Amino acid sequence: MKITIYILALFFSFSAFSQNNQGKTNDAGRIALASVVSNSIDGLNPASQSFLKNKLNQITSKYGMGGSAMNERFIITANAQVVTKDITSTAPPMHAYTLEVTFFIGDGVDGKLFASTSKTLKGVGETETKAYKAALKNIKSSDPVFQSFIEEGKNKIIEFYNSQCDFILKEAEMLVSRNEFDAAIYKLVGIPEVCKECYDKAMDAVAPIYQKQIDYECTKLLADARNAWNESQDSYSAQKASQFLGQIDPNSKCFSDSQSLTAEIAKRIKELDQREWDFKLKEQQDNVDLRKVTINAAKEIGVAYGKNQPKNVTYNYRSWW
């Protein structure tokens, strides 16, 4: 009876990059804003807080800056101030609110404000909460005031990357020196494609970092595979070794050593049981653009790393109002 272990080759699908077309850029390569609403805005209860955040999401989605992003340090937020609060003389009496809502875009980490705009909104309701929410309902993502507001914020973010690019690259180098490859890749692939000059520099830096990572991991996996095989050098240890060997990237420097160990194990299994060891290492793809494959593989690493980061980020924006 054969021991059959199927290890599928890893294939990467990739599409052409559009450097300056936001509409065709995926989440991993575009500017996106995280919608943030303070829980200490005067008169804003939890229900209205959630409602206001949805309004911010509608605005960013309208102008192509919504959804997730690799680097969510840039935020859109708002502050609402009660200008007037009255009781109408109607029957039944109604609550009437006038709010001054100011919208902000900026660097939520460094606390630097990039753009702001304000709207005066009115709402009437049977209760104060309903009146407040009725005023917020008048926030329309299609309002022309938001187009220039979003455009100004986007341009300031591009300026940020252009001015900070060398620092970002050095931070990535520092992370690599500590073997924190995922963090380094995450930092680099978080640079939006619309920031073309910095993006190109980052992608040039990603390839050698990714190579260092797969080489580093190959060394560890190969050692684990050898240890597993040397436990008993039988069918059981062969199966354990295959779990490590199957993870080795065919573009890593020690891949040839993994091939040698695979051949050694196969030979021993044949001697023991007179049967073939049906195990296949990952295979290198032919006729592909290795740079594109590498960049896409690195982006997958960056996305995975970002998803595992703490979501309860403390942003610095209270000085904006």
Residue 138 token pair:
């008048």
Strand pairing class (95-107; 278-279): unpaired
Task: Please state which of the ranges 15-24, 228-237, 247-256, 275-284 shows the lowest mean pLDDT.
Answer: 15-24
- Per-residue pLDDT tens over the stretch 113-126: 999 999 999 999 99
Query: What percent of the chain clears pLDDT 90, i.e. is strictly above it?
Result: 65
Residue 36 token pair:
């943030």
The 3-state DSSP class for residue 235 equals helix
| Domains (range + CATH), the chain | 22-163+311-320 (3.40.50), 165-307 (no CATH)
Q: What global pTM score does this model have?
A: 0.75
Q: What's 23's DSSP letter?
A: G
The DSSP secondary structure of 77-135, one letter per residue, reads EEEEEEEEEEE-SSSS--EEEEEEEEEEEEETTTTEEEEEEEEEEEEEESSHHHHHHHH
- Per-residue pLDDT tens over the stretch 177-209: 999 999 999 999 889 888 988 999 999 999 899
Average pLDDT, the chain: 86
Residues 6+ apart with CB under 8 A from 195: 158, 161, 162, 165
- Per-residue pLDDT tens over the stretch 54-69: 999 999 999 999 866 5
**Tokens 């890893």 appear where?**
10
pLDDT at 12 over 50: no
pLDDT at 75 over 50: yes
